[in-house]
A and B are shown apart, each in its own frame.
Chain A
């Protein structure tokens, strides 16, 4: 176990503590690297920085709407493919394809599809007589189309997890219900769905955690634009810290964001255990 712990200490725990330190420092790269302890200035600046709170509200929208859509779609697809129909295996393999595609590549694919004048979507819209949409260029809409990209990419993961969950439901339950005269909706509502709750919670949590780190596709799709209307905390911290070389402030953004994420997930975890919805002990 030692090597694993050592690796984590050096490359995760130390950088983490170091980031905390950086957020209270003044870092300069002019004429060689120099780090000086400074106090809470970065944090004061952060609290008054509208751009930071903007990025927080963006990621909140992104995670909540994105994961909900992914869950609804993933569940629907998993239910549809629960039926033993011809071509089932083919559809499964196909539906799982997006998961392994490099996120950055997904960004490029959709950027081409979204292109205002040559993109497929606008071409389809105008050919059926509808007005075209400036998908990524409109600050009020851009986030929704960024979310759509994420839904395309990660619905398959929820589909995969829920399919596995569905396989764990004993057939005997369902047969018993059928004999009792339950229709398919009732069977879903009273048998399948309750059985799926633990898997669902795990899937939603997993996706929410991953989605909160969102940046790769965004980097290609909008780069946080138009303006800062799609900028996420990760991208903001990257741009401030590693692009503008304001390393200390970048560290502050990242750390503040992590604190918020942590608080959010601890609260969620408490709520879940409070209601006894699942035993997350092992996972």
Chain B
């Protein structure tokens, strides 16, 4: 009886451990995927015109600059009421590349020179280096359009997943 119980315990233990070891997110700081984050206003407001960009893709100083110039947001007026604007900025800052502990955010953050405050994710040295084999023709394909359209090739982009295995470049 005791022996059977012991066997069961060992079985449960090994199954749990395997799952834990296989999971990508088991240890904060070693995971490549950006952590799952959510804020209802961020989701609604920041995805009506473009891909919902994960806060871990830019450092705090970039988000602060972005959110203080929404009336001229890449040539468009994207103004928000002050309450919504503040809530979204605090969410972005708390989960920004220099505050997140995943490896990808750290790499993005480290790639940006201290004196620069990029507003386009596609202008960070990390992005440029990661996409150096993508030609201009590919960016211009109707189903892609521009580097702003992450989800065209990275279907998990809005959930912070940019893993190589999930890249599908449309023809």
**Does A associate with B in a complex?**
no
What is B's interface to A at a CB cutoff of 8 Å? none
What is A's interface to B at a CB cutoff of 8 Å? none
